[in-house]
A = this chain, B = another copy of it.
Amino acid sequence: MFFASDNWAGAHPKIAEALSASAGGYEPAYGNGSLDAKVQQRFADIFEREVAVFFVGTGTAANALSLVSANKVGGLSFCHRESHIMDDECGAPEYFMGGSRLFAVDGALGRIDPEKLASAVDRFAADNVHAGRPAAISITQATEVGTVYAPDQIRAISQIAHKHALPLHMDGARFANALVSLGVSPAEMTWKSGIDMLSFGGTKNGCWCAEAVVLFDLDRARDFGFIRKRAAQLFSKSRFIAAQFDAYFADGLWLETAAHANAMAARLADHIAASAKARLAWQPETNEVFAVMTASTAEALQAKGARFYDWLTPAGFGGVAPGEKLWRFVTSFATTADEVDRFGEMIR
């Protein structure tokens, strides 16, 4: 009953197998091999257009370097107050940008409120050197609390971004989970809705270590090779990432693993909704389930072998009574219906 995080699972067998299969033979290093080229074309197919793809090693790197690419002197990058780039990257975005600031915007259930975003951005005149100036907007899809932005919600934000000539970045560490939840195409969820830069994550959905920055604005690609190398993210044997993506995309594996993880989350949510010991904080939309219960209840479950963590209550969420806490459960490609049901038993 491992619901601590989707990165507690290792790699999907097909990913591991493909990686092994590509181990032999010589290939040019640093992204110049034939498998690198094949996978880059695969991205273009998936997004139905030309894209620039840069493999990196971590989601933090993908996010930080995307923001570096959009950065300005005195720049401000707007993101959700409880986003991953704000709360879980040890300040990496600001570090890589050399000091530009993340600006927190509120919104219910992990999604930026477009009105609050508009008024936050409007505060800054383009030529006021004192306050700094907007440089980018970043949204997380799926969000840190397992919800998703529908395409029209993305468009509402991209309209604000583009009105101010700001690039719109999507942190897609759980891109596939959001995609299958919405049932839309990768193109529709990104550039057709106004996304300019995408952190495309494979790691949480069955890869070992496969992340990519996907640039829809190809002009940004010119400098990105330098941005990546300078950030120590250019891997010599980059085919080890390419091979993972190759298997990830083959026969729709990535959609299958994401759909499975989401289904397991829904199944877990049903158990929690029916429980007397816990209640669902909000309906899961991807592979994260949030529940409210007392610490003693949680500890009893953990003592019986369930692995999950508490979570900071999102600003504006009022569903936690005194004595209670919020707890996060994450499912993955590796989660089985059996372990979900065993947990269900325990909280009946």
Hey, which bits of chain A sit against chain B, CB under 8 A? Answer: 2, 4-5, 7-13, 15-17, 19-20, 22-30, 56-61, 64, 68, 72-76, 87-92, 94-102, 104, 123, 127, 129-133, 203-204, 208-209, 223, 225-237, 239-240, 307, 312, 334
- Residue contact A88 to B131, C-beta cutoff 8 Å: yes
Bound CA span A96–B15, Å: 32
- Residue contact A123 to B312, C-beta cutoff 8 Å: yes
- Residue contact A8 to B28, C-beta cutoff 8 Å: yes
- The distance from the CB of A54 to the nearest CB of chain B, in whole angstroms, is 11
- Residue contact B27 to A20, C-beta cutoff 8 Å: no
24 contacts between A and B (CB under 8 A): A4-B26, A4-B28, A5-B29, A7-B30, A7-B237, A10-B22, A12-B23, A16-B19, A17-B20, A19-B19, A19-B20, A58-B236, A64-B232, A74-B90, A74-B229, A90-B226, A91-B132, A92-B229, A95-B99, A96-B232, A129-B230, A204-B236, A208-B237, A209-B209
- Residue contact B26 to A229, C-beta cutoff 8 Å: no
- Residue contact A91 to B64, C-beta cutoff 8 Å: no
| Residues in B neighbouring A5, C-beta threshold 8 A | 29, 236
- Residue contact B7 to A236, C-beta cutoff 8 Å: yes
Copies of this chain assembled into the complex: 4
- Residue contact B230 to A74, C-beta cutoff 8 Å: yes
Bound CA span A2–B26, Å: 7
- Residue contact A132 to B237, C-beta cutoff 8 Å: no
Bound CA span A12–B237, Å: 12
Closest B residue to A4 using CB positions: B28
- Residue contact A101 to B92, C-beta cutoff 8 Å: no
Query: Which of A13, A23, A92 has the most B CB atoms < 10 Å from its CB?
Result: A23
Contact of A23 among B10, B90, B234 (CB under 8 A): B10
Closest B residue to A5 using CB positions: B29
- Residue contact A101 to B98, C-beta cutoff 8 Å: no
| Residues in B neighbouring A4, C-beta threshold 8 A | 26, 28-29
Q: Which 10 pairs, one residue from A and one from B, show the smallest C-beta to C-beta distance?
A: A95-B99, A7-B236, A61-B232, A98-B98, A129-B229, A16-B23, A94-B99, A2-B26, A73-B226, A60-B232
Contact A91-B230, Cβ < 8 Å, known A209-B235, A209-B240, A237-B209? yes
Contact A88-B130, Cβ < 8 Å, known A20-B17, A58-B233? yes
- The distance from the CB of A345 to the nearest CB of chain B, in whole angstroms, is 19
Bound CA span A235–B10, Å: 12
Closest B residue to A65 using CB positions: B232
- Residue contact A240 to B101, C-beta cutoff 8 Å: no
Bound CA span A2–B27, Å: 9
- Residue contact B94 to A58, C-beta cutoff 8 Å: no
Contact A233-B232, Cβ < 8 Å, known A23-B11, A102-B101? yes
Contact of A91 among B26, B61, B74, B209 (CB under 8 A): B74
| Residues in B neighbouring A19, C-beta threshold 8 A | 16, 19-20, 208
- Residue contact A23 to B13, C-beta cutoff 8 Å: yes
- Residue contact B94 to A129, C-beta cutoff 8 Å: no
Bound CA span A101–B81, Å: 14
